[in-house]
Structure 1
Amino acid sequence: MWVSALAQNGDPVARKIILDVDTGTDDAVAIMFAALHPELDLIGVTTVNGNVPLARTTDNTLRVLDWIGRSDIPVFPGLARPIARRGFPASRHFGRDSDDDPHGSALPIPEPSSKAQDTGAVEFLVETLRSTTEQLTLVPVGPMSNIATALAVDPSLTEAVDEVVAMGGGHAVANVTASAEFNIWADPEAAALVLSAGFGRLTLVPLDATHQALVTEEDCAALDALGTPAGVAASRFVSRRIAAYRTAVEGGNAAPVHDVVCTAYLVRPDLLTTRHLPVEVDTASPLTIGRTVIDTRPGSSLDPNAHVAFGADARLLTELLLGTFGAVSG
Structure 2
Amino acid sequence: MSRKTGLGRGLSALIPDNQQNEENQTTSRIQTDQQGTPDSSILEIATDDIKPNPNQPRTHFNEQDIKQLARSIEEHGILQPLLVSDNENGSYQLIAGERRWRAAKIANLEKVPALVRETNPQEILELALIENIQRADLSALEEAAAYQKLANDFQLTQQEIADRVGKSRTTITNTLRLLELPDKIQKSLDNNEITEGHARALLGLSNAEDMIQNLEVILSRNLNVRQTENIVKNQRLSNESHTEMENTPIKSDDNKLEINLPDSRHISVTLQRLFGTKVTVQRANDGSGTLTIHFYSEEEYEGILSRLIEEENHDNY
TM-score (norm 2): 0.27
Structure with higher helix content = 2
Structure showing greater Rg: 2
